[in-house]
Structure 1
Amino acid sequence: MSTEGDLGENDPPPARPLERYQKLLGAILALAMLALLAMVITIWPGPPRAPAIGPQLLDDYTKARADVARVEKAHLALLQPPAGDQRAPDVVAAEVSKLVGERAAAQQKLTVAEAAIAALATAGPAQSCSSIFCLGPEPTLLLLAALAGALGGAAHAANSLAAHSGSGRMTPSWTLWYYLRIPAGAALGLIAYCVVRAGFVIGSVSALGSGAETINPFGVAAVSALAGISAKAILEKFGALADGVFGPRAPQQQTAELPKATIDRAGKKLLLEFKQDPVGVKVTIGSRIVAPAVSGRRATVDLQADELNQSKLSIKLSGAGLPADTTMPVDVPTG
């Protein structure tokens, strides 16, 4: 049995700081994926909900129907009076005329209410509703794209953490990369959805659908999640797409580093040590242009007696990836 502060034979070894860090980061990524998955399910578009009939419109429709029925019943009673009715014909005619006016007014109100209800019925769904709340179709799809992209980024980060931890190559210097994969995935997912929706990718619009009300949410989630997972590939795709839209980018000219120059006075030679292959290099000393002898990354130039008598030799280099007429001074050692 072990005493306090000592490890027993069956006691597990204490966790190293790096192991605790990896477990904490893994737990954070796992919770992030679960939270994002829950949010995707929450905002997932449900069946389109038609606009509701307002209570005032429903009340107007009900009253108009009741008024029409009441007037028609009273009109029928006047046209078929009961036996023993002693009212004068002109009185009955006046009441009939009044009822005709009332029926026309009630019928007009009923027609207006029925037209308003029919307009709502044919207007189509105004909102895309999840299990909790309703948004417009476009905001719902944009939010779905961002959440799916973030979920893809979190899945990529978790898979990378598992692989690097298992191989023992995990270092805390990658912490910021793991945390930024989630918001970066959200941004890439949203951009990918907009690119596909805009029709920059051939066949993409037909795959998703046309119109916010008819777009397949599974297609939106799939495109955005793949963008979040494959950040490097999608950025390269966006770069190629930008070249096609805005024209190719000008190639960056890589300037080679200047060579190390020394003079071998005994051998009467100028020695140039390049960090890259000195292909096509030319050396100008005064008015003399020389193609040096090249061996590997070393170039050698034979010097003349008057050049060795100078204290400092100014040479110009061209080729080998160097800017044109690159000038560099070289100290001439004394004999």
Structure 2
Amino acid sequence: MIAIIIYLLAFLLVLFAGLLSDSLWQLPEWYMAHVLGARCAMVGGIGGVLYCMRGVYRNRCVDDCWDPKWRVWYYLRPPVSVVTGAVSYLFLRAGLLVLDAASTPDSVTYGYLALAFIAGYNVDNFLKKLEAIAESVWGVGKSRVGADKDRPPKDQA
């Protein structure tokens, strides 16, 4: 468990360093042209790390039900959250997700970052939302995982 906590704190430190990098150093123009997408990925990762830290706290301290078989989840969740943060940016830029807020430049940026945080923090529901969008826009059916969760258990069917 200590290794997981160290990993999560190190991951968080790297994400914060990434967020501060464009104000501390002169970064290449190609990066700066896509800085909002990179920030969305990092903020999604912060959401995922926060969710994992909450999981460590709850499972070890509150519920006292720490199970080592979940270690892989604690290591994989933050990178998955980085990806979902980046994907949230792509879907917003493509117009497939729409922010309903004031349209000042700052509010748009903060809207992107807020959605990226939510996408990283709550990966499962974000992916369900993407599946619903894919189904309505392109007619793509739900994945087996998404479809299985909507189906009642066998003993209740």
Shorter-chain TM-score: which interval?
Answer: 0.7 to 0.9
The structure with the larger Rg is 1
The answer to which structure, 1 or 2, has the higher relative contact order (CA under 8 A, 6+ apart) is: 2
2:115 corresponds in structure 1 to: 223
Which structure is higher in helix share? 2
What is the aligned length?
A: 147
SS at match of 1:159: helix
Contact 2:132 2:142 in 1 (8 A): no
Deviations 1:138-159 (A, max 9, x none): 3212211111111111111111
Closer/same/farther in 2, CA of residues 152 and 251 from structure 1, 3 Å limit: closer
Using the TM superposition, give the Cα deviation of residue 205 of structure 1 relative to its aligned residue in structure 2, in angstroms: 8.9
Deviations 1:227-264 (A, max 9, x none): 10011110111111111111262898x9xxxxxxxxxx
Gaps of 5+ in 1: 1-21, 44-129, 255-274, 278-320, 322-335
1:249 corresponds in structure 2 to: 141
Closer/same/farther in 2, CA of residues 31 and 245 from structure 1, 3 Å limit: same
Closer/same/farther in 2, CA of residues 173 and 199 from structure 1, 3 Å limit: same
Instruction: Report the AA paired with residue 176 of structure 1.
Output: V
Contact 2:50 2:121 in 1 (8 A): yes
Contact 2:48 2:121 in 1 (8 A): yes
Closer/same/farther in 2, CA of residues 24 and 198 from structure 1, 3 Å limit: same
Which structure is higher in strand share? 1
Among candidates 149, 173, 176, match of residue 44 of structure 2: 149
SS at match of 1:200: coil
1:133 corresponds in structure 2 to: 26
Closer/same/farther in 2, CA of residues 26 and 203 from structure 1, 3 Å limit: closer
Contact 1:40 1:147 in 2 (8 A): yes
Using the TM superposition, give the Cα deviation of residue 202 of structure 1 relative to its aligned residue in structure 2, in angstroms: 3.4
Identity over the aligned pairs, expressed in percent?
Answer: 23
Q: Does 1:31 align with 2:7?
A: no
Closer/same/farther in 2, CA of residues 38 and 147 from structure 1, 3 Å limit: same
1:200 corresponds in structure 2 to: 96
1:234 corresponds in structure 2 to: 126
Using the TM superposition, give the Cα deviation of residue 171 of structure 1 relative to its aligned residue in structure 2, in angstroms: 1.1
Gaps of 5+ in 2: 149-153
The two structures have a TM-score, normalised by structure 2, of 0.77
CA distance in 2, matches of 1:185, 1:251: 19
1:40 corresponds in structure 2 to: 19
